Amino acid sequence: MNNKTPKPIKGYWSNGRFVKPEEIALEEVGPPSKTQLKAEADEKQALGEALLTLRADLIARLDLPNKLLDALKEAKRITHFEGRRRQMQFIGKLMRPLDMEPIRAAIDEQANGSADLTLALHLAEQWRDKLIASDEVLAQWMTDYPDTDSQQLRALIRQARKDIAKPETPGEAPRHGKSYREIFQLVRQAMKQESKA
């Protein structure tokens, strides 16, 4: 026979009704507080500062309103501290109705590079390391990328294997020579051309 008492349900009584925590979360929240509004305005102003350093191609992709683009150009021109501060507040105000996600994504892309580029670089590094490590990988590479100059690649691989210097102290990474970097460039270029085809 089970003598355990059931766990009490969390919540509280309000106006003659028992309210559970999940119901509280679902209830409509009132208008944002002044603190929340100030935090949002500060974030938009900070994003406006970051927009000043954004590359032209990324700015063009965002399709920002002309008034905001003009305000950004003006902010770049202003050198006086107080004038610039006011201009940044104006930029923050112009950004209020905009969706911030594309702007954050563009700023992140400029700071960290696009995910596609990062993936391509990692793949090129993996191919380079495999090519140096094993002769069988060269045949696979030539099947996948037949336009590659096989003689040049073989010569670079041979040289890279000779150049690998043993580390002077244990635990240190081995040093690589010029051919190691040249293989990466050759692999990267071949992969780029193949993706365009």
pLDDT, tens digit, for every residue of 151-182? Answer: 999 999 888 888 876 666 666 666 677 888 89
Q: Do the beta carbons of residue 163 and residue 179 sit within 8 Å?
A: yes
Q: Which CATH superfamily is domain 34-112 in?
A: PSPTO4464-like domains (1.10.60.30)
What proportion of the chain, given as a percentage, has pLDDT over 90?
13
Please determine, looking at this structure, whether the domain spanning 115-196 carries the CATH number 1.10.60.30. yes
Take residue 101 and report the two structure tokens written for it. Answer: 């996600």
Q: Do the beta carbons of residue 124 and residue 188 sit within 8 Å?
A: yes
Q: Where in the chain is the domain with CATH 1.10.60.30?
A: 34-112, 115-196
Of 118 and 87, more confident: 87
- Which whole number is the average pLDDT over 176-196? 84
Q: What tens digit of pLDDT does each residue of 97-134 get?
A: 888 888 888 888 887 776 777 788 888 899 999 998 88
Q: Do the beta carbons of residue 56 and residue 69 sit within 8 Å?
A: no
Q: How far apart are CA 150 and CA 138, in angstroms?
A: 9
Statement: the pTM of the whole predicted model exceeds 0.75: no
Q: Using the Cα atoms of residue 153, residue 159, residue 161 and residue 165 in order, give the sign of their dihedral.
A: negative
Residue 37, pLDDT score? 78
Residue 57, pLDDT score? 85
Looking at the DSSP bridge assignments, the partners of residue 28 are: none
DSSP 197: -
Q: How far apart are CA 52 and CA 18, in angstroms?
A: 53
Q: Do the beta carbons of residue 65 and residue 94 sit within 8 Å?
A: yes
Of 64 and 174, more confident: 64
Q: What tens digit of pLDDT does each residue of 14-52 get?
A: 777 776 666 555 555 567 778 887 878 778 878 888 888
Q: Which of 191, 190, 195 is nearest to 148 (CA)?
A: 190
